[in-house]
Chain A
Amino acid sequence: MLKINNLSAKIENKSILQDFKLEINPGEVHAIMGPNGSGKSTLSNILSGKKGYDVTGEVLFENNDLFSLETEERAHKGIFLAFQYPLEIPGVNTNVFLKTSLNAIKKARGEKELDAIQFLKLVKEKAKELKFDEEKLGRQLNVGFSGGEKKKNEILQMSILNPKLSILDETDSGLDIDALKTVADGVNALRKKNNSFLIITHYQRLLEYIKPDFVHVLMNGKIIKSGGPELALELEKKGYENIN
């Protein structure tokens, strides 16, 4: 599904990712763990199309050259980024935003757009599953939401848009244990044969609830070690400095 070959990224001549390699197949859950400044967020930004990076190398998503696609085209093809810091958008109603987003993607795929009633039914159902306060759907997007509510809103968007590849950028940070479980349940509900996940995190905590198939350790812009779920536990014990 996703193939990253020799990806290097610089921002204003500062090298962040170097010869990064990763392959994610349909249905797989990969976790990338690394200390602050190791390049985790840069990776998620580049995959979703944020401007401001000089990149070399190749990224293929379902055999499409990702760098030839605009941010919104990547979303249309099924890439979703759950933001580390979801933005507050004043004056934009959350429901209106969700519907605009879903229908933009459906339209680009040539699918039938949802009308207001169909949409409300879907969003209510998903909000209930995620224990997301329905009243918040009528409010301005993320404005006045707590940190946890913002993160849950990201997962709500993910479950409505039903992407093929979801990238979760430190979704666990700022969540209490109950919210963490709800978020994990949301992710697990989406785990199917064809949906893949890339979970970026500092800690092993989230991975207790979302079992990854592979764990990679990112240090200084490179994957220095890959393994199964047990690698996360080893990291937790030894710390990043002593892993090799």
Chain B
Amino acid sequence: MEEQLKIDFEKKLKDFSYSDQEKKFKETNFKEFLKNGFPNRKLENWKFSDLNQIIKNNIGELTFYNDYKKENQIDKIELISELEHNKIIIVDGKIEKIDFKFEDKDKIDVLVEQSEETIKENINSLINLNNAFSNKFCKIIIKKNYSLKKPLIIYHSTNKNTQSKNTNSRIDFKLEENACLRLIDIFKDNSEKNFLNIYYNFELDKSSILKNYKIDKAINNNVKYSYNNVKQEANSISETFILSSGSKFFKNEINCDLQGQHSSAFVNGIFDLDDENHHEIKSNINHLVENTKSYQLVKSVLEKKSKAVYQGKIFVSSEAQKTDGYQLSNAILLSENSEFNAKPELEIYADDVKCSHGSSSGSLDENSIFYLMSRGLNYKEAKKLLINGFLLDVIEKITDEEIKNLIKDLLGVKQ
């Protein structure tokens, strides 16, 4: 793999004339990745999902070079028709289109220069890989007091003939004071056996609101990793909802730094898994100042040999008095071979806090099934009604009604 990486990285550097700063940034990240490689189970964060093995078993040898000069076809990508939206289309890691057609143009800036701050970051080896191989820098700024009129949908797609490739995409967002963004991620996989690595960096200024809904519903054989890095100033709110279902493997990692008072973070998720799919949600909620709040709810319905992992961490620094942190996970195992792993972590250094966690897993309640069947529903209908009921309270946590309905439609839980 190392040889391939070096060849592909050389090729990439030749493609563009990078500034010295950019070049240094990419080279530093590349070296870090070469040193550490793909994460494996020796790392605590990856002990339930050994990505090195997962890539070997599902993809084999990867290549890393993507020709960003090539224009990808985007007219065949099926767009969401149920709701009006702005869009960004990413194909094989390359942003092909940015379209804010519903918005006031002077309220949104798209920057391509990289800021000093991001250059120093060293989060994990996959972010190093992303920084080394992703295309040009892109930062979207939502101006002060501006709420986008329509949601922004980011379509993540792969080309039909792309195979055994690693694709990397990164977008930075800044929500200025009192700005509001509703962001939906949708996956349109047109090819198999690729590793998609997606990195979002969010700066939430005072009183801004970010709602990010990640929808992985369509069945596909790709391996995916997504990292959201969210830094939150006073009174800001971040709401993340993850529907984790269709991909072969998907790990969603959410890092929230609550660094302004009265900021809050909500992370809710559904694992709806079948076959041998293996998905994970890893959250780090860092309560760094007084009076911050976090809430996490994850529900799983697991068929066949599927496996779900939820590692939820709540960190409370010694300054972060009056923290309110909560997390809960419930799983229904529909087969003896399905597996749910929960690792709740509370690391608390302040003494005046309210933090709790809980986790449960079990099978579908046979008495409830019997009750529903005695009212004329067949086994399949009874099971569906119970599962929908089980998932409904996570869906009800979605604060955007339009998007809530879209997700209810996708899951077939409309009542």
Contacts and interface: CB of A to CB of B under 8 A. Distances in A.
Interface residues of A, number: 31
B367 A91 contact: no
A93 interface: yes
16 contacts: A50-B370, A71-B370, A72-B373, A75-B376, A81-B374, A89-B371, A89-B389, A90-B390, A90-B393, A92-B385, A92-B389, A97-B385, A101-B372, A101-B376, A104-B375, A108-B376
B386 interface: yes
Given A87-B367, A87-B371, A93-B415, A140 B377 contact: no
B381 interface: yes
Nearest to B385: A92
A64 interface: no
B386 A72 contact: no
B368 interface: yes
A93 B391 CA distance: 13
A100 to B, nearest CB: 6
A89 B376 CA distance: 16
Which are the 5 A-B pairs with shortest beta-carbon distances?
A91-B389, A91-B392, A101-B375, A75-B376, A71-B373
B388 A89 contact: no
B378 interface: yes
A32 interface: no
A86 B382 CA distance: 16
Given A86-B371, A96-B415, A91 B390 contact: yes
Interface string B163-188: 00000000000000000000000000
B14 to A, nearest CB: 56
A172 B226 CA distance: 57
Interface string A87-113: 101111100110011101100100000
Interface of B: 365-368, 370-379, 381-382, 385-386, 388-393, 415
A75 B371 contact: no
Contacts of B415: 93, 96
Interface of chain B: mostly helix, strand, loop or mixed: helix
Interface of A: 48-51, 70-72, 74-76, 80-81, 83, 86-87, 89-93, 96-97, 100-102, 104-105, 108, 140, 157, 161
Contact of B393 (A87, A91, A104): A91
Given A48-B374, A49-B374, 9 more contacts: A70-B378, A71-B374, A81-B374, A90-B389, A91-B392, A93-B415, A101-B375, A105-B375, A157-B375
Contact of B368 (A87, A93, A157): A87
Contact of A91 (B372, B382, B391): B391
B388 A91 contact: yes
Contacts of A104: 375-378, 381
A113 to B, nearest CB: 12
Contacts of A157: 375
B386 A89 contact: yes
A140 B386 CA distance: 12
Nearest to B378: A72
Nearest to B375: A101
Nearest to A86: B371
Given A71-B370, A92-B386, A101 B393 contact: no
Given A49-B373, A87-B371, A93-B415, A100 B385 contact: yes
Most buried by A among B365, B371, B388, B415: B371
